[in-house]
Amino acid sequence: MTFVVVENCIKCKLMDCVEVCPVDCFHEGPNMLVIDPEECIDCTLCEPECPIEAIFSEDEIPKGQENFLELNAELSEIWPVITEAGTPPPDSDEWDGVEGKLKYLER
């Protein structure tokens, strides 16, 4: 099993989850993080660290967000690994909870 970063991370990218990961499975894109399903060991440490509730186990992905399992796998092969939290976007608070953010995903 793996954990999955879903839509609410887009344009929020808060990175509180990154430094607790013992296997460095987070990858950073321009405006979102993803989890490499091949590296994730299902330790559950990242999920409670996400202040915007954008991380779920693969069997608890919210309805309508199932495509993010495949998206995390795809983008983790392209984006670089991130092991230290960086600075989130200055307007990240404004994007928390906004629906329909997939169209803003930058690859």
pLDDT tens digits in sequence order for the chain, 107 residues long: 899 999 999 999 999 999 999 999 999 999 999 999 999 999 999 999 999 999 999 999 999 999 999 999 999 999 999 999 999 999 999 999 999 999 999 99
DSSP-assigned letter for residue 38: T
Provide the residue ranges of all domains of the chain, joining segments of one domain with +.
3-86
pLDDT cut 70: percent of the chain above it: 100
pLDDT of residue 38: 97
Which amino acid does the sequence have at 27?
Answer: H
Rounded distance between C-alpha atoms, residue 11 and residue 52, angstroms: 12
Say yes or no: domain 3-86 is CATH 3.30.70.20: yes
Q: Against a cut of 0.85, is the pTM above it?
A: yes
